[in-house]
Amino acid sequence: MKKSLSIVEYYAEHERYKCGYCKKPDKSYSHGMWAHSLTVSDYQDLIDRGWRRSGKYCYKPTLNVTCCPSYTIRCRALEYKASKSQKKILKRVNKFLLGETQQCENDGDRKMTMSSGQVSDNSEEGNEQFVEPKRDPQNINIQDVAVSQEDPSSISIVKRDVKGTSLNRSIYNAVPASSNVAPPQKDMGMDITKAPCKKAKLLRHEKRLQKLKEKGVDISVLINTNKNNEKQIEDIINELPEIVKHKLEIKLVRTTPPSPEWLATSKETHEVYVKYQTRIHGDTLAKCSEPKFKEFLVQSPLLEEHSEVGPASGYGSFHQQYWLDGKIIAVGVIDILPKCVSSVYFFYDPDYMHLTLGTYGALREIAFTRQLHSLCPDLKYYYLAHCPLTYGSRSGTRGEAFVGRSTELSGFSGQYPRENKPVSRRKASARAPRHLTVGACVL
C-alpha cells in the first residue's frame, strides 16, 4: 500500500499582500506555501504552530511585522461553558423552531449591534479572509512523488530558487520544541508569567463562600449544587420536543474528494454563499463566482483518511449544512483532524440574521467536537479561525491563543479592546501578547 505524502511548495518569506482586516495594500506579511497534498497529521502539526489554510494555500502571519497580527484560537471544547448571552441565542433558535417567534421581514438588511460577549454578525472583522498567493503553483503529479528512502515520514517540499528552477528537499520536524518569547514590557499587554486577574463577580462569589465557611456552613454542597444545575450547550439543544413547527437538521458532507451528497447540493450551497457575501460583506458578484467559491471553501489539500480509532466520517475537509424545512440556511466549513475540529469559515442566509447564526454555528461546532470526543478520546479541541487582537473572535468564544513560533499558548476571553492604547491590568488579562519575537520561517 502506497504511503500518503504531504507535498508543499514554499513561497517567499514575508510575502506582502492586501490586509483583509484594515484593507491597507501590501501591509500584510506572512510565510506562505501551496499545499499540493497534506496528511491530516501534518496539518495538525502546522496549525499547532500558527499556520492556517485558505483553500490549498497555507500561510502563517509574520506577527512582529504584519499590520494586523492574527493568532490561532484554540478552545478546550470539553471544558467550555457557554456565556449567558450565548445561551440566550441557543434558546432563541429553539423558540423559532417551536414557532413562538417569527422571522422579521427586514432581517437581511438590518445591522447587528455589538454587545458584551457578542460579535457583530454583519462585519468582516474577526472572520477568516480569503488569502491567495501572488504566483501560480507548479503542476505536480503527486502520484509520481516517491517516499524518501532516508526518512519515510518526511514532508516533501518543492521550493523555487532565485532563477525560478525547482529544488526538491525534505524537511522533518523542523519546528523547535520551544521558543524564546521576549519578556513582557510596560503597556505591552498581558504578562503571561502571572496568573490572570479574576473578575469582580468571581471575587465577590469567593468572598461570600469564605464568610459562609467561617460560619460553619459546608460550602462544598453549595458548589456541587451550582455545578449540577448549570446547563451545557447540549442540554439546551436537546430541550426541543420531537414535534416542532420548523425542522432543523445538520448534515455532514465531505467536500474533498467530493462526495455524492456534496455534488447534489453544491449549487444550493453556492447560492447561500453569494447571498451572504454580497449582503453581509458587500462583495461583488464577480468575487463570489463559483470558481472562486470552490477555490476558497471547497478545494482542500487534506487527504481523506480513515482510522480504527477515528470518527466514522473519517478525517479531512467537510461542510456542515444547516437544513431548515428542507433548504440550506447556513454552512460551516470545517476540517476534522486527529486532535481537533478546525473551523475554516461560516456563512448563512441573511434572511435568518435574527437567529444570530454565526454564534449559533460556533456553539454547535463545539458540541460536535464533544460528540466526536466520545468516539475519539484524542479529539478534544475546537480551533477557530485566525483572529487579530483588535477584533473579537467569532461568537466571542473564550479560548487560548497560539503565540511565538512553537505551540506556546496564552489564555484570553475572546473580546479585545479596539483601541491600541494601554489598558488596565484587568482588561489586559483578556488580551494575548501583541509584541512577540518571531524567528525565521519554520514548519
405 pLDDT band (50/70/90 cuts)? very low
Q: Is the peptide bond before 257 cis (omega within 30 degrees of 0)?
A: yes
Percentage of the chain lying above the pLDDT 70 cut: 65
φ/ψ of residue 56, rounded to 5: -100, 0
Please tell me which residue, 346 or 72, carries the higher pLDDT value: 346
Q: What is the model's pLDDT at position 206?
A: 86
pLDDT higher than threshold 70 for residue 182: no
Mean pLDDT of 181-199: 64
61 vs 117, residue with greater confidence: 61
Residue 198 has pLDDT above 70, yes or no: yes
- pLDDT surpassing 90 at residue 400: no
How would you write the chain as a 3-class SS string?
CCCCCCEEEECCCCEEECCCCCCCCCCEEEEEEEEEEECHHHHHHHHCCCCEEECCEEEEECCCCCCCCEEEEEEEHHHCCCCHHHHHHHHHHHHHHHCCCCCCCCCCCCCCCCCCCCCCCCCCCCCCCCCCCCCCCCCCCHHHCCCCCCCCCCEEEEEECCCCCEEEEEECCCCCCCCCCCCCCCCCCCCCCCCCCCCHHHHHHHHHHHHHHHCCCCHHHHHHHHHHHCCCHHHHHCCCCCCCCCCEEEEEEEEECCCHHHHHHHHHHHHHHHHHHHHHCCCCCCCCCHHHHHHHHCCCCECCECCCCCCCCCEEEEEEEEEECCEEEEEEEEEECCCEEEEEEEEECHHHHHHCHHHHHHHHHHHHHHHHHHHCCCCCEEEEEEEECCCCCHHHCCEEEEECCCCEEEEECCCCCCCCCCCCHHHHCCCCCCCCCCCCCCC
pTM: 0.70
Give the three cell numbers for residue 77.
471544547
The answer to whether residues 184 and 192 touch, using CB atoms and an 8 Å cutoff, is yes
Between 212 and 97, name the one with better pLDDT.
97
pLDDT band for position 223 (cuts 50, 70, 90): low
Q: How confident is the model at residue 172 (pLDDT cuts 50, 70, 90)?
A: very low
pLDDT at 116 over 80: no
Amino acid 395: pLDDT: 52
* Burial class for 374, CB neighbours closer than 10 Å (0-12, 13-18, 19+): exposed
Element (H, E) at 357: helix 357-375
Is 60 exceeded by the pLDDT of residue 50? yes
Cell numbers for 139, please give them. 503542476
Mean pLDDT within 189-201: 73
Check whether 442 has a pLDDT greater than 50: no
Distance CA 433, CA 419 (A): 15
pLDDT of 201: 83
Average pLDDT estimate for 247-273: 97
Residue-wise pLDDT tens digits, 299-314? 999 999 999 989 999 9
388 or 409: whose pLDDT is higher?
Answer: 388
Residue 65: per-residue pLDDT: 85
| Distance from C-alpha of 357 to C-alpha of 93, rounded to nearest angstrom | 9
Which residues touch 114 (CB under 8 Å, ≥6 apart)? Answer: 120, 392
Q: Which residue has the cell 488569502?
A: 131
In angstroms, rounded to a whole number, what is the distance separating the alpha carbons of residues 67 and 437?
A: 15
The listed range with the strongest mean pLDDT (45-54, 193-202, 247-256) is 247-256
pLDDT level of residue 13 (50, 70, 90 thresholds): low
Checking phi first, is residue 5 left (phi over 0); if not, alpha (psi -120 to 50) or beta? beta
State the average pLDDT for the chain.
76
Average pLDDT over residues 242-271: 96
C-alpha cell, 402: 497560539
Whether the pLDDT of residue 426 is over 50: the answer is: no
Given this model, what pLDDT does residue 61 score? 87
Higher pLDDT among residues 123 and 375, named by residue: 375
pLDDT band (50, 70, 90) for residue 147: low
- Cα dihedral 394, 397, 399, 403, rounded to 10, equals 20
Give the pLDDT band of residue 20 (cuts 50, 70, 90). Answer: confident
Can you count the helices (H) and strands (E) in the chain?
9, 15
Inter-CA distances, 130 with 58, 278, 286, Å: 11, 15, 14
pLDDT at residue 404 is higher than 70: no
Residue 86, SS3 per DSSP: helix
pLDDT digits (tens, 9 = 90+) for 73-113: 899 999 999 999 999 999 999 999 999 887 655 554 444 43
CA atoms of 99 and 245, how far apart (whole Å): 6
